[in-house]
């Protein structure tokens, strides 16, 4: 049978396509793209002439079946999304999971992903992190998500649209307070790239000044380590000893 390649493509800067990604995109029989019109730009830039077919959220089932047929007939297929790594907050999981069930070879051609790029330059602890995908659009659900961060010891990452950033920061302030260290990565690899790092209060001040534009990753730093809480009596005894 053929191989399914999950090919990462640039998240803004067209130069961020790997040599291997370029070769695979040129050599496969078929490229399945989230938005063929969007991917055509990348293809034109690099002179890739492989046939493009669409594979997006709402045709995943039907289209997936046809791609699997092609793979079983020995064709090689590359899956790409509009930006970054396919299947990461993008279509792909369903197809990969079916291929694995059927014993079809699946191969990564790794490259850009907004998550890892943002984390690496955030200046927040990177040893342990949690990726939560897109933040819920409604405040109640968003606050419930942020409430979980009160004692979270990992850096937590979210994808968010620019028009909701301020509302999200306000909810974050309500749930974890204004002193938590966070980062906002905006327009990574593009002309107006920005990495903001500071407290929630500083972020509210910074992003409250003018309309926020561009693509955004929100990173919330870990909760400060909790001091083991002794009893009031222990604290009083200790104070008496100190006096």
CB of 139 to ligand SAM, least distance (A): 18
> Considering only residues 71-100, where is the footprint of ligand SAM by CB under 6 A?
81, 83-85, 88-90
Least distance (Å) from ligand SAM to the CB of residue 171?
Answer: 17
8 A C-beta contact, residue 222 and residue 127: no
Q: Is there binding between residue 159 and ligand SAM (CB under 6 A)?
A: yes
Task: Kindly state the helix (H) or strand (E) to which residue 108 belongs, with its residue range.
Answer: strand 105-109
Distance between CA atoms of residues 93 and 96, nearest Å: 5
Tally of CB atoms within 10 A around 133: 11
What tokens appear for 7 in the block?
């090919």
Name which of 29 and 215 has its Cβ closer to ligand SAM: 215
Q: CB 188 → ligand SAM: shortest distance, Å?
A: 3
Site for ligand SAM in 96-125 (CB under 6 A): 113-115
Under rule CB under 6 A, residue 48 binds ligand SAM: no
Count interface residues toward ligand SAM (CB under 6 A).
24
Among 17, 42, 185, 203, binds ligand SAM (CB under 6 A): 185
Window of 46-54, 153-161, 173-181, 196-204 that interacts with ligand SAM by CB under 6 A: 153-161
For residue 37, count CB atoms less than 10 angstroms from its CB and return exposed for 0-12, middle for 13-18, buried for 19 or more: exposed
Helix count and strand count (H, E) for the chain? 9, 10
Angle formed by the axes of helices 139-147 and 165-176, nearest 10°: 40
Which two structure tokens, joined as six digits, stand for 162? 């620019």
Binding mask 212-241 toward ligand SAM (x if CB under 6 A, else -) reads ---xxx------------------------
Q: Which listed residue (11, 21, 157, 172) binds ligand SAM by CB under 6 A?
A: 11
CA gap 169, 209 in Å, rounded: 13
| Tokens linked to 34 | 């989230």
In whole angstroms, how far apart are CA 60 and each of 81, 124, 135, 166, 213? 13, 36, 23, 33, 30
Q: Which stretch binds ligand SAM (CB under 6 A): 146-154, 166-174, 188-196, 234-242?
A: 188-196
Q: Is residue 21 close enough to count as binding ligand SAM by CB under 6 A?
A: no
Contacts to ligand SAM from residues 133-152, by CB under 6 A: none
Binding site for ligand SAM (CB under 6 A): 11-12, 81, 83-85, 88-90, 113-115, 159-161, 185-190, 215-217
């Amino acid at each position: 049978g053929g191989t399914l390649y999950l090919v990462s493509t640039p998240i803004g800067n067209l130069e961020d396509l790997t040599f291997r990604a370029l070769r695979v995109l040129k050599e496969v029989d078929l490229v399945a793209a989230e938005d063929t019109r969007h991917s055509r730009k990348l293809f034109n830039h690099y002179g890739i002439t492989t046939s493009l077919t669409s594979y997006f959220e709402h045709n995943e089932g039907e289209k997936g079946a046809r791609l699997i047929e092609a793979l079983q007939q020995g064709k090689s297929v590359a899956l790409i999304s509009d930006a970054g790594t396919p299947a990461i907050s993008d279509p792909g999981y369903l197809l990969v999971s079916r291929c694995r069930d059927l014993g079809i070879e699946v191969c990564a051609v790794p490259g850009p992903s907004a998550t890892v790029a943002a984390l690496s330059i955030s200046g927040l602890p990177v040893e342990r992190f949690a990726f939560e995908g897109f933040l819920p659009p409604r405040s109640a659900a968003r606050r419930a998500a942020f409430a979980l961060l009160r004692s979270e010891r990992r850096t937590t990452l979210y994808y968010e649209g620019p028009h909701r950033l301020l509302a999200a920061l306000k909810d974050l302030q309500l749930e974890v307070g204004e002193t938590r260290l966070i980062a906002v990565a905006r327009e990574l690899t593009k002309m107006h790239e920005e990495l903001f790092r500071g407290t929630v209060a500083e972020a509210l001040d910074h992003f409250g000044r003018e309309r926020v534009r561009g693509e955004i990753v929100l990173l919330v730093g870990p909760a400060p380590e909790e001091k083991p809480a002794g009893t009031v009596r222990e604290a009083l005894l200790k104070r008496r000893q100190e006096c």
